[in-house]
């Protein structure tokens, strides 16, 4: 069995494995900050490059590139080790950042954001997989606090840096600041992380990789842009979904015969991995209802400014890492299933609190549900990843982690589609015509539309309890993994 050469004597930044943990946190911080830093600088970018109608693609293309490459990177990491995949991911991310900082048009910036996304697709799952490699199940319960702190700090640092660069320097520094940080992270990984990988010939699953990536791109593209750039029943939507279904069906057939499948089908029969993937899928759906419509409700219905509206969402980013950092004590004491059920119940309560919000509600009534939902997500999403990693051996830990994160990306795309369709339908019903630009909609129209999203979120949140029940009470790291060679 392949394993790292690092002793497991202690935990923390000052321990023997501390430099590796710090390098992982820095690498993860690059991706975490990048997910929030651009939002506050969009006006400055558009003012400089133009392309107002294209700017949503700055986010969509990044999400697509990141999501569809995760399973491929995860498999390569199981075959050739985490270190080369992590370094390649950081390299792509830094290259994409440099190109974004030099972009001369909105089209070029969108293309270079795709390069960034290709790098992020490796960095995020590799960070979590390396943590799973160098720490035991019991140790991971303590280390989660360090990892969770990265997301908490990024939620504050990202928007702040974006605003500062846009107002006092140049929006290009949003991307150029990644260069020294990325090079530092790569050098720390290179110097400090050593792993002993079994050197043997591997059969790269080219056909499966192409079919999975192509099918995922078309599926996510159809979900993200359906009802926005084209109607759901348009020829474009139908073609995208039909071709995606054909490619994914072909992928399943290829994987049945592949010697080393990029996404082994036994994962979908493994109880723990399936529970983790289902959890991530539901959390991904609910996150889109929260991150997209709570700030919009705060601005367009309650009348707050963009900064204050962002604080409502920041409440979730505080609740999530706070709960995640303490979840280890729970699942080591009462088990994974009980911990996830508690998290699911708290998350459901958070969505129920959204139903109390009205046009005259105080700001705290909007921030409170966000915080409560963040606590619930922290108690259900983070333990599910640890559970998936702990249920398989080293040679499958990459694909177990990657498949869980890929499921969250799919869930996010589904959330965009479902909640967007709900809002568009309600607005069209009230106006008797197609949906105009959001900025021209009144509070009287947006309140009932977004309230319908809150109702749908409360209904979907019940599924958090269902997926929690899928998880076994206790999990131990196996000697061998089903489907391993």
Please indicate, yes or no, whether residues 193 and 212 belong to a single structural domain of this protein: no
The four Cα atoms 413, 417, 423, 428 give a dihedral, to 10 degrees, of 150
Checking if the pLDDT of 245 tops 80, the result is yes
Distance CA(161)–CA(216), nearest Å, equals 33
Confidence of residue 342 (pLDDT cuts 50, 70, 90): very high
Contact residues for 317 (Cβ-Cβ < 8 A; gap 6+):
151, 152, 155, 156, 374
Please tell me whether residues 298 and 367 are part of one structural domain: yes
Spatial separation of the C-alpha atoms in residues 429 and 335, rounded to whole Å: 47
In a domain, 279, yes or no: yes
Q: Is residue 170 part of a domain?
A: yes
* Residue 64 located in a structural domain: yes
Q: For residues 57 and 63, what is the distance between their CA atoms, to the nearest angstrom?
A: 9
* Same domain, residue pair 146 and 278: no
313 and 238, same structural domain?
A: no
Q: What angle do CA 61, 223, 468 make, to 5 degrees?
A: 105
Residue 226 β-bridge partners: 230
Considering 179, 201, 223, which residue would you say is the last residue of a domain?
201
Q: Do the domain assignments include residue 2?
A: no
Distance, in Å, from the CA atom of 418 to the CA atom of 234, rounded to the nearest integer, reads: 17
Q: Are residues 475 and 350 in the same domain?
A: yes
What's the mean pLDDT in 113-139? 86
Note the pLDDT of residue 435. Answer: 54
Provide the residue count of the chain. Answer: 485
The predicted structure's pLDDT at residue 399 = 86
Q: pLDDT digits over 284-303, tens only?
A: 888 876 777 887 788 778 88
330 vs 446, higher pLDDT: 330
Q: Are residues 277 and 188 in the same domain?
A: no
Which residue matches tokens 């708290």?
346
Q: Residue 317: its pLDDT value, please?
A: 76
pLDDT of 142 reads 76
Is the pLDDT at 115 greater than 90? The verdict is yes
Q: Compute the average pLDDT of residues 349-371.
A: 89
Q: Which domain holds residue 109?
A: 8-201
User: Is residue 1 in a domain?
Assistant: no
Verify that 235 and 272 share a domain, yes or no. Answer: no
Least confident of 10-14, 74-78, 181-185: 10-14
pLDDT for res 86: 92
In sequence order, the β-bridge partners of residue 3 are: 196
Check whether residue 225 and residue 301 sit in a common domain. no
Mean pLDDT of 138-144: 77
Q: Which of 177, 201, 225 is the last residue of a domain?
A: 201
pLDDT greater than 90 at residue 94? yes
The band of 133, judged by pLDDT with boundaries at 50, 70 and 90, is confident
Task: For residue 338, name the pLDDT band (cuts at 50, 70, 90).
Answer: very high
Q: Is residue 366 part of a domain?
A: yes
In the predicted model, what is the mean pLDDT of residues 430-447? 66
Report the range of poorest mean pLDDT among 11-25, 62-76, 277-291, 305-319.
305-319
pLDDT at 53: 60
Q: Where residue 417 sits, what CATH number does that domain have?
A: 1.20.1250.20
Local confidence band at 436 (pLDDT 50, 70, 90 cut-offs): low
The residue out of 240, 258, 276 marking a domain boundary is: 258
- Residues 212-225, mean pLDDT to the nearest whole number: 84
Together in a domain, 254 and 184: no
Number of folded domains that form the chain: 3
Split at pLDDT 50, 70, 90, the class of 164 is: confident
What DSSP letter does each residue of 150-209 carry, written as one string? HHHHHHHHHHHHHHHHHHHS-TTHHHHTHHHHHHHHHHHHHHH--EE---------HHHH
pLDDT in tens, 391-400: 888 788 888 8
Same domain, 285 and 426: yes
Give the tens place of pLDDT for each residue, 11-59: 667 777 788 888 888 888 888 888 767 766 776 787 788 765 666 677 7
Residue 305 in any domain: the answer is yes
| pLDDT mean across residues, the chain | 82
Q: What's residue 440's pLDDT?
A: 57
Mean pLDDT score, 358-380: 88
CA distances from 148 to 137, 327, 378 (A): 16, 11, 9
* CA separation for the pair 77, 85 (Å, rounded): 6
Mean pLDDT of 184-202: 81
From 25-29, 297-301, 324-328, 476-480, the region with the lowest mean pLDDT: 476-480
CB 188 within 8 A of CB 26: yes
Higher confidence at residue 281 or residue 474? Answer: 281
For the chain, the straight-line distance linking the first and the last C-alpha, in angstroms and rounded, comes to 11
Q: What is the predicted pLDDT for the residue at 483?
A: 39
Q: Is residue 3 part of a domain?
A: no
DSSP alpha helix (H) spans, 355-476: 364-390, 394-431, 443-470
Average pLDDT over residues 71-79: 85
- pLDDT value for 477: 67
Question: Do 399 and 274 share a structural domain?
Answer: yes
> Who wins on pLDDT, 7 or 442?
442
Residue position matching structure tokens 């590139």: 65
**The predicted structure's pLDDT at residue 479:** 59
94 and 135 both lie in a single domain: yes
Residue located via tokens 């050098």: 187
Whether 325 shows a pLDDT value over 90: the answer reads no
């Amino acid at each position: 069995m392949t394993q790292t050469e690092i002793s497991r004597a202690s935990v923390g930044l000052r321990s023997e494995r501390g430099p590796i943990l710090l390098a992982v946190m820095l690498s993860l911080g690059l991706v975490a900050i990048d997910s929030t830093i651009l939002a506050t600088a969009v006006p400055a970018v558009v003012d400089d490059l133009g392309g107002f109608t294209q700017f949503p693609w700055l986010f969509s293309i990044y999400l697509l590139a990141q999501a569809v490459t995760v399973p491929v990177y995860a498999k390569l990491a199981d075959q050739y080790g985490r270190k080369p995949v992590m370094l390649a991911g950081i390299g792509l991310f830094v290259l994409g950042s440099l190109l974004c900082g030099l972009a001369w048009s909105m089209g070029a910036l969108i293309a270079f954001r795709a390069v960034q996304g290709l790098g992020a697709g490796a960095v995020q799952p590799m960070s979590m997989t390396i943590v799973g490699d160098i720490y035991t199940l019991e140790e991971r319960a303590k280390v989660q606090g360090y990892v969770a702190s990265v997301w908490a700090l990024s939620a504050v640092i990202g928007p702040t840096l974006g605003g500062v660069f846009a107002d006092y320097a140049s929006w290009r520094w949003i991307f150029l600041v990644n260069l020294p940080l990325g090079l530092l992270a790569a050098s720390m990984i290179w110097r400090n992380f050593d792993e002993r990988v079994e050197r043997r010939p591997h059969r790269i699953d080219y056909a499966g990789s192409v079919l999975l990536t192509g099918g995922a791109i078309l599926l996510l593209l159809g979900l993200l842009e359906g009802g926005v750039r084209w109607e759901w029943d348009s020829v474009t939507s139908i073609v995208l979904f039909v071709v995606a279904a054909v490619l994914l069906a072909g992928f399943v057939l290829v994987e049945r015969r592949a010697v080393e499948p990029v996404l082994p089908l036994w994962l979908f029969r493994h109880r723990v991995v399936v529970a983790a993937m289902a959890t991530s899928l539901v959390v991904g759906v609910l996150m889109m209802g929260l991150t997209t419509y709570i700030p919009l409700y705060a601005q367009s219905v309650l009348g707050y400014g963009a900064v204050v509206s962002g604080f409502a969402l920041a409440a979730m980013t505080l609740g999530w890492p706070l709960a995640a950092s303490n979840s280890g004590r729970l699942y080591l004491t009462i088990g994974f299933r009980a911990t996830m059920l508690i998290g699911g119940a708290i998350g459901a309560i958070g969505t129920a609190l959204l139903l109390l919000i009205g046009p005259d509600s105080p700001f705290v009534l909007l921030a409170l549900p966000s915080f409560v939902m963040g606590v619930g997500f922290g108690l259900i999403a983070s333990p599910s990843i640890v559970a998936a990693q702990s249920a398989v051996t080293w040679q499958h830990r990459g694909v177990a982690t990657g498949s869980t994160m890929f499921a969250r990306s799919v869930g996010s795309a589904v959330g965009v589609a479902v909640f967007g369709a709900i809002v568009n339908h309600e607005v069209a019903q009230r106006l008797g015509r197609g949906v105009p630009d959001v900025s021209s909609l009144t509070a009287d129209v947006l309140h009932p539309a977004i309230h319908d999203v809150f109702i749908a979120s409360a209904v979907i949140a019940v599924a958090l309890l269902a997926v929690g029940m899928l998880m076994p009470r206790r999990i131990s790291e196996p000697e061998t993994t089903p489907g391993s060679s």
